[in-house]
Amino acid sequence: MSFLLPCPHCGPRPVDEYACFGEVTTRPAGESPSLRDLTEYVYFRDNVAGVQREWWQHRDGCGEWFLAERDTRTNEVLSISEPEPAPPV
């Protein structure tokens, strides 16, 4: 079943309006990460059957990027939140 996803600006909208950018990942720490750290970060995923924190964008709507917690077994959206500002580089 298709499902509704709440946008921080527009409220609940059909999931087809959004682009999903996958689970939230953590950048490898340090100045010069190894190739293995980088490839692990770029390609490998937890792909959980359960609650997943993920990136969404309301692509066909207001364009807002936000985070959602969704149960991948039921597609139930538990919460949405604004991303935190990126740490200074």
- Binding residues for another protein, rule: CB under 8 A, are 1-2, 14-16, 19-20, 22-23, 35-36, 39-40, 42-49, 52, 54, 72-75
Which one, 3 or 62, has the nearer CB to another protein? 3
Taking the least distance from each CB to another protein, the nearer of 36 and 86 is: 36
Minimum separation from the CB atom of position 79 to another protein (A)? 16
DSSP string, 50-83: SEEEEEEE-TTTT--EEEEEEETTTTEEEEEEPP
Closer of 8 and 57 to another protein (Cβ): 57
Distance CA 58, CA 25 (A): 20
CB 5 within 8 Å of CB 12: yes
